[in-house]
Structure 1
Amino acid sequence: MRPLFADPKTDFVFKKLFGTEEHKPLLMALLNGLLELDEAHRVVGVELLSPEQRPPVQELMNSIVDVKCVDARGTRYVVEMQVLNVEGFEKRVVYNVAKAYTSQLQRGQRYPDLDDVIGVTVCDFELWPRKQAPHVPMLSRWSMQEQHGGVRGLGQLQFVFLELPKYDTRRPPRTAVEKWAYFFREADNLEMVPEVLAEQPFRDALEAARTAGFTEEEWDAYIRAGMAIQDERGALSLARREGKAEGRAEGLQEGLQEGLQEGIQKGKEEGLRAMRASLRQLLRQRGLTWGPQEEARLEGCTDLGTLQRWLVQALTAASATEALA
């Protein structure tokens, strides 16, 4: 039985809600809410940028999905939904925003033509753990400042993070930021439109995520996206669990540090095997065949991030060769 609303954290639903012309008002509402813009500075129009604007370094593309747009004032936005905390995540976010900034400049243009870029990232994990001091709130904003006096400047690149696990579940959401956090966390568990999300734009977001309106093809795409996330999560969990177990066993004989490193390596190998198996299964389910060249490429890959990217690409690729590009 289908849930009433689909999970907005999955690739398919996030793109449907925030990456299509039909639902551009939702993207603007999300930006206005997470940037906490007042009436005079609200985003009132956006233009979705083509996929060609994305960074060409594929090994750094570990996010579930990103949407790029530019508003009427020229400010550009890189909006991401990140489900898993993968290695190098913060560097990848900085790279994406910096790339969106530098790629504006074409031959013959000048530096004054560059527009500001703001990266907006929704994380389904704690990027800065609550137990860590100093405390970083659920919604955090980052920009450059002079280190001696704290004067802010060089604001051409800015970063906004919404860490969903930091949402306070002990009380109903009150602010727009809290309501967006509640929407992302709980949408697929709701059995009705709750009163706290009965107003715009949250009601429209729930209506767009209502599974009754999905075609069979859209429902299949949604299920595949959810399976891919679970496979990736399982592979990473297995690698960590096996690594810890092997580390404890080896540590009894050769010392904790050496055993832990070897355990982590073994766990990584197990995770790689699990990821390869998931990718082969998905290709078979989609009826995509692969030959010796693709099999050798798959078996020879030793990077979890690359396998994760291939798994996401396999959801929509027309061939196995395209999936492993």
Structure 2
Amino acid sequence: MYNFQTRVMEDSDGYNSKSQKRYGKTSLLKRIPLHKLMDLKVDYAFKQFFGNEKNKDITVVFLNAILQRNDRNRIRDISFSNTEAGGEYVGDKQSRLDLLVITDSGERINVEIQFTNKYSMIKRSIYYWSGIYRNPLRKSMSYKELSPVISINMMNFNLFNQTELFHTSYHLYEDEEKFKLTDVMEFHFIEMPKLIKAWKVEKLNPWNDILARWLLMLGMVDHRNDEVYEDIYEELEEIAMKDETLRNAFRNWEELSMTHEEFLAYESRLKHIMDEESAQREAELRLKEETEKAIKRGLEQGLEQGLEKGLEKGLEQGLEQGLEQGLEQGKREGKKIGEENAKEAIARKLLDKGMTIESVAELTNVSESRIIEIQNDIEK
């Protein structure tokens, strides 16, 4: 269970020698030590920082770094857009985007930051993309008037096992000759643990890599694990002496973290996220335990059924061979029956506790149609 008790207004003018040695005051942070900065990987802090009109120039630099834009096609200005994304059907819940901007060339860029892995991130990203892409279309408009939409997903967990790259990008290409179908669709996925791993093995050079520079700033404070990467800070502090935008980013980050109301809201959001993560982990452990018990029960039932079938076949193929086949088939059927029964039993319990159908389906790996059937059965 997460317990976060730091208060930004404490010790603003000084702190004990141990903290000073560990976190230290520096020329960049004038009033608070490193560990009192908000973790910018928490969606509330990310949006308050990068979605703030005051920090628009910082956000422009940050987006250009992710999109690898050069001087010719770089973003020069943005406007912040409404972040409510309505559901497609009646009754769909509203989805709140973390950051949605419109560039000076008319592109729409949606930036989502996920602290925990509780969604089907790829499908979620495509779903959000589709809503943003079609939303501007009105009667009498032409499809040609629809603007490109870029989806950026920043994750505090690893998603792709196929690569060690912390930043991957995706477009639609022809399968054989690899030419691009369209420029209206673009996806970026950034996996922060891979970034930190690359830093630790000295594969990053933030002096020459602007994207690494900004992502390391986001990864520097890790409130989930109560850790601050002082080596990252020392490197960025030196770079900031020559990079005015990065220097301003640290100052505005410090100011945001010292605003009492903002920090309390951030703290509340972080606690909520960690509580959700803890509840999900407990549900997974319960599911595993119940599954193991049900598998054992199902295996016993399946073995009995398998023995009967094996004996029947044994009359034709020989007693010994029939028993062997029956046992094997019984094991397979028993395991399948046990897994299905256990998952549905857990699904029923989660629905009773008010969890959404989508969440229950994702957690138990039972189809949404079956979860709806179980829900209807509960409501009878």
Cα distance 1:56–1:246, how it changes in 2: closer, same or farther (>3 A)?
same
* Matching residue of 1:38: 70
Matches within 5 A, 1:274-313: 299=354, 301-304=356-359
* Matching residue of 1:155: 183
Matched letter for residue 272 of structure 2: A
* Matching residue of 1:143: 171
- Which whole-Å CA distance do the structure 2 matches of 1:210 and 1:268 have between them? 44
1:111 and 2:166 correspond? no
- The CA deviation at 1:48 is 0.5
Indicate conservation of the 8 Å contact 1:28/1:43, yes or no.
Answer: yes
1:116-164, CA deviations, whole angstroms, 9 ceiling, x for partnerless residues? 11101101111112xx4xx362111101011122111212111011011
1:195 and 2:239 correspond? no
Cα distance 1:161–1:264, how it changes in 2: closer, same or farther (>3 A)?
same
Secondary structure at 2:36's aligned position in 1? coil
1:25-78, CA deviations, whole angstroms, 9 ceiling, x for partnerless residues? 2221221111111122211100101234x23355483x7x52111111111101
* Matching residue of 2:212: 178
Matches within 5 A, 1:1-325: 1-2=6-7, 3-52=35-84, 54-56=85-87, 59=93, 61=95, 65-129=97-161, 132=162, 135=163, 137-167=165-195, 168=198, 169-171=200-202, 173-174=204-205, 175-188=209-222, 189-190=227-228, 194-198=233-237, 199=240, 200=243, 201-210=245-254, 213-254=257-298, 255-267=334-346, 299=354, 301-304=356-359
1:242-301, CA deviations, whole angstroms, 9 ceiling, x for partnerless residues? 21222222222313333334444455566667xx6xxxxxxxxxxxxxxxxxxxxxx485
- The alignment's TM-score, normalised by the length of structure 1, stands at 0.75
Residue range with higher mean Cα deviation, 211-220 or 108-117: 211-220
- Which whole-Å CA distance do the structure 1 matches of 2:345 and 2:134 have between them? 40
- The alignment's TM-score, normalised by the length of structure 2, stands at 0.65
Cα distance 1:140–1:124, how it changes in 2: closer, same or farther (>3 A)?
same
Number of equivalences: 275
Secondary structure at 2:98's aligned position in 1? strand
- The CA deviation at 1:8 is 0.4
- Which whole-Å CA distance do the structure 1 matches of 2:166 and 2:172 have between them? 20
Indicate conservation of the 8 Å contact 1:6/1:211, yes or no.
Answer: no
Structure 2 regions of 5+ residues with no counterpart?
1-5, 8-34, 299-333, 362-380
Secondary structure at 2:46's aligned position in 1? helix
Residue range with higher mean Cα deviation, 11-20 or 195-204: 195-204
- Which whole-Å CA distance do the structure 2 matches of 1:128 and 1:110 have between them? 37
- Which whole-Å CA distance do the structure 2 matches of 1:136 and 1:191 have between them? 21
Structure 1 regions of 5+ residues with no counterpart?
277-298, 307-325
RMSD, matched Cα: 2.8
1:186-241, CA deviations, whole angstroms, 9 ceiling, x for partnerless residues? 22544878232232443333333326753322121011110111011112212222
Cα distance 1:183–1:267, how it changes in 2: closer, same or farther (>3 A)?
farther
Secondary structure at 1:158's aligned position in 2? strand
- Which whole-Å CA distance do the structure 1 matches of 2:77 and 2:256 have between them? 29
| Higher alpha-carbon Rg | 2
- Which whole-Å CA distance do the structure 2 matches of 1:166 and 1:262 have between them? 38
Matched letter for residue 234 of structure 1: S
Indicate conservation of the 8 Å contact 2:171/2:185, yes or no.
Answer: yes
**Greater RCO (CA < 8 Å, at least 6 residues apart):** 1
Cα distance 1:268–1:118, how it changes in 2: closer, same or farther (>3 A)?
same
Cα distance 1:265–1:85, how it changes in 2: closer, same or farther (>3 A)?
farther
- Which whole-Å CA distance do the structure 2 matches of 1:233 and 1:96 have between them? 23
Cα distance 1:227–1:248, how it changes in 2: closer, same or farther (>3 A)?
same
Indicate conservation of the 8 Å contact 1:248/1:256, yes or no.
Answer: no
Matched letter for residue 67 of structure 2: L
